[in-house]
A = this chain, B = another copy of it.
Amino acid sequence: MEKILRVNMTRLQISQAEVPSEYKFLGGRGLTSRMLLDEVDPRCEALGPDNKVILAPGLLTGTVVPCSGRLSIGAKSPLTGAIKESNVGGTAAQALTRLGIKALVIEGMPQSDNQYLLRLDREGAALVPAPELADMGNYRLAETLLAKYGPDNSIISIGPAGEQQLPVASVAVTNIEGQPSRHAGRGGMGAVLGSKGIKAVVVSSKGDFKKQPVRSEAFREVAQGFGKNLVASKKALTNYGTAVLVNLINNVGGLPTNNFSQGTFAGVESLSGEKLAAICQERGGATGHACHRGCVIRCSNIYHDAQGSYLTSGLEYETIALMGSNLGIAGLDQVAAMDRICDDLGLDTMEMGAALGVAMEGGVLSFGDAGGAQRLLVETAEGKTVLGRVLGQGATVTGKVLNVLRVPAVKGQGMSAYDPRALKGTGVTYATSTMGSDHTAGNALPGRGKVELRKPEGQVQLSLSLQVMSSVCDILGICIFVGPVEESMVVCAELLSAFSGERWGQEEVLALGRNLLKTEVEFNSKAGIGPVYNDVPEFMRKEALPGTDLVFDVDRDELENIFRGL
């Protein structure tokens, strides 16, 4: 029997309940967002006692469906003031599912600054005071806890940045090798967990619950066919990881460079996916690495330093662009070092890349200063200096404090690595997403749809369709790299039909996504983040990308009204 597990940090009590029937076909972001709307006052202080952190594996997580191991982490965001969900790979979602946990709700707030560890296994759940873990980086923490509890555990944790309750703080999840290299980066979920006094959740993977598809043979067949197609069609991701996008996005003129003041980077070759693959091969690292069992795309990588020792894992395009070209830093080793610091100390690489870009423009350090950037990352996560605490609020507050108007952010969240002037569909997603600017909400990559990248026409419709399909992936717990495309929706309908024994058509599947967006729009509206906030920053409408006449010119009214027809 699946259950909802509830940890009240005010009373230090744990309880569990059956899953209400209306949550039956929800999972992942579908469940976190719905429960937030049902249980949390949208106007509450994000770092106060009335906010909740909800962790939910996808609806199909734990089944044979390939790439279905995503864990959604949701809360009202201290970064945006809006609803937030950030999902992450790694092994935790599958482990939680095996324990029969459909949602883990952490609520209330402890009276003291004490740190706690939450232990989940077949025996039940226990809160353990853990003062010895305070200020520990995620790497040492994971090593310590896996040594103590055994390698058959998955660790969900925050670094010092989360303990400092900084809105740039991420939540780390361990991968198959036990490295805390997978991060729910966006929106400060780590800060909310920190405000609850939860330093780590240790999840045993030895649970015995198993989701049982009603028509299990049919389910297995659809899943296998789906897997084969993915293996065949995603070879570029397998070979180069998401870094395959570096050259591609630079070629279309949308690679954020020097705080989004340019769309192409002279040092692009030093950051490319091809370069990454070569370095990984030379030094004994790997590409084609899976972050959890059952992933057939395997876009992750293991990056070794020049001495051949493990440095970081899952070096992604967004990190490479925002901490590389966006900071004028040419060289994967420098970027990988920054990625490692972020993973260890629990920082969102995207928000920090955006914030450092703004800080460089504000004169705090020079573009290209990789050493300075690394020092500022550490200073941020430690949260002891005012500058560190300002950067720890993200790009928007950094821009305010330094009086920089070129701030690439929407609804308080820094943009990821696609300049909206050159990639206008993604720009629409940035402008309108319930999540603040977030490519994972609906990324209109080159070749996605029949709409021209750089023209305003048709982008709103394209983005909306991608946002709905991405929402479906986030509910089912399927990685968005399977593609928020119609073919996948057909597969999802077949999977849900076999899983439930009821008939699901493509329309019913898309309705799941539409309802999720409606839920989030409602939360945000009650939080005061209405359609007026659906726009890119002013400078992107006024300043053309150098050497082009590209500004962001999608009609504002269309952006405001994007969700009207849901």
Alpha-carbon distance between A90 and B324 when the two chains are bound, in angstroms: 54
Interface flags, A405-421, vs B, CB<8A=1, else 0: 10000000000000000
9 smallest CB-CB distances across A and B, nearest first, come from A528-B532, A386-B387, A386-B386, A389-B401, A45-B538, A165-B403, A528-B533, A390-B401, A45-B405
Residues of B within 8 A of A50 (CB): 538
Separation in Å of the A83 CB from the closest CB of chain B? Answer: 14
- Considering the complex, which residues of chain A in the window 486-542 have a beta carbon less than 8 Å from any beta carbon of chain B? 525-530, 532-533, 535, 538
Interface readout for A199-213 with B: 1 if CB under 8 Å, 0 if not?
000000000000000
List 12 A-B pairs, Cβ < 8 Å.
A43-B532, A48-B405, A165-B403, A385-B386, A386-B386, A386-B387, A397-B397, A397-B401, A528-B528, A528-B529, A528-B530, A528-B533
| Cα(A390)–Cα(B50), bound, Å | 27
A393 contacts across to B, CB distance below 8 A: 400-401
In this complex, what residue of B is CB-closest to A44? B538
Separation in Å of the A561 CB from the closest CB of chain B? 15
Report A202-236 CB contacts with B as 1/0, cut-off 8 Å.
00000000000000000000000000000000000
Is the CB of A47 closer than 8 A to any CB of chain B? yes
Q: How many copies does the complex hold?
A: 2
- What number of A residues sit within 8 Å (CB to CB) of B? 30
Give the shortest distance, in Å, between A552 (CB) and chain B (any CB).
14
Q: Mark A162-179, 1 if CB is under 8 A from B, else 0.
A: 001100000000000000
Contact, CB under 8 Å: B48 / A538? yes
Contacts of A405 in B (CB 8 A): 45, 47-48
**What residues of B have a CB within 8 angstroms of the CB of A278 in the complex?**
none
In the complex, A403→B393 CA distance in Å? Answer: 10
**Is A306's beta carbon under 8 Å from chain B?**
no
Interface residues of A (CB under 8 A from B): 43-45, 47-48, 50, 164-165, 385-387, 389-390, 393, 397, 400-403, 405, 525-530, 532-533, 535, 538
Q: A401-B386, A405-B47, A405-B48 are contacts. A532–B527 as well, Cβ < 8 Å?
A: yes
Q: How far is the CB of A204 from chain B (nearest CB, A)?
A: 33
**Cβ-closest chain B residue relative to A529:** B528
In the assembled complex, which residues on chain B have CB atoms less than 8 Å from the CB atom of A45? 405, 538
CB contacts (< 8 Å) of A397 on chain B: these are 397, 400-401
- A43 touching B535, Cβ below 8 Å: yes
| Smallest beta-carbon distance A268→chain B, Å | 31
Alpha-carbon distance A529/B530, docked complex (angstroms): 9
Name the residue on B nearest A78 (C-beta): B400
Give Cα A389–Cα B387 distance, bound, in whole angstroms.
Answer: 10
Q: Smallest distance from the beta carbon of A381 to chain B beta carbons, Å?
A: 14
Whether B390 contacts A47 by the Cβ 8 Å rule is no
